[in-house]
Amino acid sequence: MGRSRSKSDLPTKICPVCQRPFTWRKKWADCWDEVKYCSERCRRRRSTAEEQNNEL
Strand-pairing partners, residue 21, are 14
Single-letter code of the amino acid located at 36:
K
Confidence (pLDDT) at 7:
79
CA distance 20 to 2: 30
Q: How far is CA 31 from CA 12, 34, 35, 50, 56, in A?
A: 14, 5, 7, 23, 31
pLDDT digit of tens for each residue in the chain (56 aa)? Answer: 667 778 788 999 999 999 999 999 999 999 999 999 999 999 999 877 666 666 66
Q: Are 31 and 51 in contact (CB under 8 A)?
A: no
Q: Are 18 and 42 in contact (CB under 8 A)?
A: yes
